[in-house]
């Protein structure tokens, strides 16, 4: 029997395949295409632009969060130390891919710092999704970021286009130059990535009666 040591390309391939990484990447491409097409068609409407800056990074982040679901349940928790670098590379790579795609799609949007805004918001929403995955599991990782994103849009649909920034907690609608929003997004992303990388997403099997 052929033995594969930790870190071989074969093992990495099996890890990514088990987590449907290819499907997640395809989903990120589709989200980016939808964002590009919607702004291309309705980009003269400031409200559409503002919503796009939140909605499409949110959708991409949810895909990354769902990608944290491990198919082997508690067995993955037992092997968490050995899988940490694979999780970090997998989820970090997906987030970087989403950021690059969305930044490219936002090029030309008639909003100041549009490319930075989609990257910042994707970073923060990804952190929220991964923190939710750590508590509820990968399959439910979208719940908190979607609720938060919709609440942000409800309270400030024009986001960065408003004369005054939205309320304190609605950081996705803050201007690109606001350093606090960047710090919040980075803190969420760092916490989410580290927790899920080291410990893994919560296994739904643990809550099964």
- pLDDT given for residue 206 in this prediction: 44
Using an 8 Å Cβ cutoff, are 39 and 109 in contact? yes
- pLDDT given for residue 69 in this prediction: 74
Give me the domain span that covers residue 127.
9-203
- pLDDT given for residue 10 in this prediction: 66
- pLDDT given for residue 18 in this prediction: 62
- pLDDT given for residue 40 in this prediction: 83
Alpha carbon distance 43, 97 (integer Å): 24
- pLDDT given for residue 23 in this prediction: 80
Averaged pLDDT, groups of 10, the chain, 209 residues long: 53 66 86 89 79 93 87 53 77 92 88 90 96 91 95 77 67 86 95 89 53
- pLDDT given for residue 97 in this prediction: 94
3: in domain? no
209: in domain? no
Count of structural domains, the chain = 1
Is residue 89 packed enough to be buried (19+ CB in 10 Å), middle (13-18) or exposed (0-12)?
Answer: middle
- pLDDT given for residue 3 in this prediction: 46
């Amino acid at each position: 029997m052929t033995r594969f040591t930790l870190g071989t390309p074969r093992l990495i391939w099996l890890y990514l395949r088990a987590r449907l990484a290819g499907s997640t990447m395809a989903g990120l491409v589709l989200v980016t295409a939808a964002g590009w097409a919607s702004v291309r068609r309705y980009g003269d409407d400031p409200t559409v632009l503002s919503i796009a800056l939140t909605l499409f990074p949110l959708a991409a982040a949810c895909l990354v969060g769902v990608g944290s679901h491990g198919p082997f349940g508690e067995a993955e928790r037992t092997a968490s130390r050995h899988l940490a670098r694979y999780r970090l590379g997998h989820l970090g790579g997906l987030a970087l891919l989403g950021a690059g795609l969305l930044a490219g799609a936002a090029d030309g949007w008639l909003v100041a710092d549009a490319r930075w805004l989609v990257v910042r918001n994707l970073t923060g929403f990804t952190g929220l999704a991964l923190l939710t995955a750590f508590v509820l599991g990968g399959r439910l990782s979208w719940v908190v970021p979607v609720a938060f994103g919709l609440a942000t849009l409800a309270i400030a649909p024009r986001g960065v286009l408003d004369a005054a920034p939205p309320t304190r907690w609605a950081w996705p609608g803050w201007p690109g130059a606001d350093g606090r929003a960047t710090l919040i997004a980075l803190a969420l992303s760092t916490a989410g990535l580290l927790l899920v990388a080291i410990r893994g997403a919560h296994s739904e099997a643990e809550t099964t009666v």
